[in-house]
Amino acid sequence: MSMICAVVALLVQTVLFQETSSKLIYSQAKNESYNSLRNMQNELESFCRGIESNMVLIYNDTEFLRDLAESEDTDYLRDKYYSRAEELATDRFEISEGVLALYIYNEDHEIISNYRKFSTPKHHYPKDIYAEEGDYNIERVKNYAESDVNTMLISGYYNSALNRDIIRFAIKLHRINRLGDKIGYVLCDVDSKSIRKIMNKYNISYNTYTWLQPLGDIPVCVTEDKNGASREYFLELCKYIESGDRSEIESGYGKSNELFYVDQERFNLTAYSLAPQSLLMQNQRMLTRNLILIAIVTISVLALLFFYLTKTLTEPLESLSDTVTRIGKGETELRVLHTAEDEIGKLGFEFNHMLDEVEALIRKQYENELLLNKAEYKALQAQINPHFLYNTLDTMSSIASIQDCEIVSSLCQSLSGIFRYSLDMKHPYSTVAKELNHLKNYIFVMNVRMTDKIRYHYDIDDEVLQDSIPRISLQPLVENAISHGLKNKHGDKDIWISAKNDDGRLCINVRDNGVGMDEDSINKRLNENDSSTADNGRSIGLYNINARMKLLYGDEYGVLVESNMGEGAEVKIVIPERRLDEII
């Protein structure tokens, strides 16, 4: 029953899809033809604008325009400016624009200058379009020259010697200081190959007529396929357009052909395309055949699959699906029972194995993370350089032999405080106040050891004294400043220590006026937070503290260095502001 319903549904869907898709494809074919014509028209308009721009450059010759406006002696103008048309054609136009001839006339339609690219019996262009016999479509030019229209004229004629359409462009010449006064006009004849190249680029089918025709004029360029659209219909359309009446066209004249046209906004030149409706419906017929074939093949495959799947897959799949659903709801102890030597059985076996592995990995990962966090924190916290203790004891021995017992007593008290504070590993957190006390004991010992004194400056806000901080975080920063910043410095040696709250964060800065350090290299290694760097004895201070801060508070906290070589360095610690009783 389900098989019959599926087949009926497929057939109904195929019929409906064919109906809607046929209309859609026909509409898309029409839109594609129209869009192609519009794109072609846009490029043609750019080409025409280029021709117009080159022709208008004649206005740069003010002497010629002044003589053309004031002199009534045509022979004088011809003698003086006989090469003006050639100069305009060869200097201003590109070869690709295909200029074949250029004429300059005065307002009385008398030739002043002309240029002809060729002058042979095969490639013949008239010296004067009004003086030689031939159909040069001169009435259009004369009517334009005598009219009040100031936009460029686009017309054409058929050159029988070349067996080719010639595109004609014309602009009027006016007085420079009185644009309303006409003094002549310029004609430029262009080979239609330049236009036809553009048209062929956008011609989506060879079974169409595509042509350019100004309203009220003859076609100027045509591409055709004699086996395509009706030539009789094409000729009728051309006559309607030449008469200046497109009402019949716009009302849908003709039924077996589809007409598209796009006007130019600037020039009176319309692009037309005439295609047989059978061409537009070709994809529809192909779609129908393909849909029928697909429907037959699909129904056959469905019938075979239905019987096969019902017999071999239904029960194992239902069992597997039920087990997976129950496991997804929380019964993770369940396992797939069907593990026969088939695809479903192998899938069940692998699924069971995957569940076992996942459970084992989850347990192992959880245990490892607990051990890793504890071990990593203790390892980082326990790294204390023993050389400091040994050197201090040697110093105490030397001082005891040459000085009074007072300094030895003070030194022993400071060392006792340092050892007691450093070796107390039961409590990983301390307070800023205790860290400062530990630091002062360390400073006292260092002042005893070192021959040159270092001045220490404190700027500690009272409100931060009871804030929590990991143990032994402040003293290594001062040790770093002494060992790397001030050790090789001559003159005054100063260290500034400050602590304050900044918008819920505890900020501790240690600054020195020593030799400085490579800021970019150190900050890069601090951001990488490589545990091997923290284990390196030379980097125990900054990298150890940075690793501990990130482990305890997250990657957004830690140590930052600001330094310029030779100008000292400033090391900053930024951690969340918390009281000790909040984290114990």
Checking DSSP bridges between strand 221-223 and strand 209-213, what pairing results, if any? antiparallel
Reading the block at residue 39, the tokens are 């794109």
Q: How far apart are CA 536 and CA 532, in angstroms?
A: 6
- What pTM value is reported for the model? 0.46
Q: What is the pLDDT of residue 418?
A: 76
Checking DSSP bridges between strand 468-470 and strand 429-431, what pairing results, if any? antiparallel
Q: Which long-range contacts (CB under 8 A, 24 or more apart) does 529-532 make?
A: 529/555, 529/558, 531/376
The alpha carbon of residue 21 and the mean position of all alpha carbons in its chain are separated, in whole angstroms, by 34
The DSSP-derived string for 202-234 is: T---SSSEEEEE-TTS--SEEE--TTSS-HHHH
Q: How far apart are CA 249 and CA 198, in angstroms?
A: 25
Reading the block at residue 245, the tokens are 């009446």
The DSSP-derived string for 47-98 is: HHHHHHHHHHGGGG-HHHHHHHHH---HHHHHHHTTTHHHHHHHHHS-GGG-
- In contact, 154 and 167? CB cutoff 8 Å: yes
The residues, any chain, with a CB within 8 Å of residue 218's CB and separated by 6 or more, are 137, 155, 156, 157, 238, 242
* 3-state DSSP assignment of residue 510: strand
| Cα–Cα–Cα angle for 223, 98, 213, rounded to 5 degrees | 35
Per-residue pLDDT of the chain (584 residues; tens, 9 = 90+): 555 665 566 566 666 554 555 555 556 667 787 888 889 899 999 999 999 999 999 988 899 999 998 888 999 999 999 999 999 998 888 877 889 899 999 999 999 999 988 767 666 788 888 887 777 888 899 999 999 888 999 998 888 777 888 899 999 999 877 767 889 999 999 988 888 888 888 876 666 788 898 988 889 888 876 555 577 788 888 888 888 877 777 654 455 677 888 888 788 899 888 877 665 555 555 656 666 777 677 777 777 776 666 666 666 666 777 777 877 776 767 776 666 666 667 777 777 777 777 777 777 666 656 645 654 555 455 444 544 554 565 566 566 656 666 677 677 777 777 777 776 666 778 898 999 998 888 888 888 777 667 889 999 999 989 999 988 889 889 888 888 888 888 888 899 999 999 888 999 999 998 888 888 888 888 888 775 555 554 445 788 888 888 888 888 898 999 988 888 899 999 999 988 777 76
Q: How far apart are CA 299 and CA 328, in angstroms?
A: 36
Question: Which is the CATH superfamily of the domain at 50-190?
Answer: PAS domain (3.30.450.20)
φ, ψ dihedrals at 402, nearest 5°: -120, -10
Q: How far apart are CA 58 and CA 89, in angstroms?
A: 10
Reading the block at residue 434, the tokens are 């205790």
382-583: in CATH 3.30.565.10: yes
Per domain, the residue ranges of the chain are 50-190, 315-379, 382-583
- In contact, 511 and 561? CB cutoff 8 Å: no
- In contact, 523 and 484? CB cutoff 8 Å: no
Distances (CA, A) of 404 to 292, 399, 417: 113, 8, 21
The residues, any chain, with a CB within 8 Å of residue 232's CB and separated by 6 or more, are none
Q: What is the rounded end-to-end Cα distance, in angstroms, of the chain?
A: 71
Please name which of 211, 105, 94 lies closest in space to residue 158, comparing C-alpha atoms: 211
State the CB neighbour count (10 A cutoff) for residue 418: 21
The DSSP-derived string for 149-170 is: --SPEEEEEEETTTTEEEEEEE
Angle between helices 432-449 and 386-402 (to 10 degrees): 50
Q: Looking up tokens 């009176």, which residue turns up?
A: 268
Q: What is the pLDDT of residue 379?
A: 46
Q: What is the pLDDT of residue 170?
A: 95
Q: How far apart are CA 110 and CA 103, in angstroms?
A: 10
The β-bridge partners of 457 are: 496
Strand order in the sheet with 257-263: 221-223, 209-213, 270-276, 257-263
Reading the block at residue 354, the tokens are 């995957």
The β-bridge partners of 496 are: 457, 511
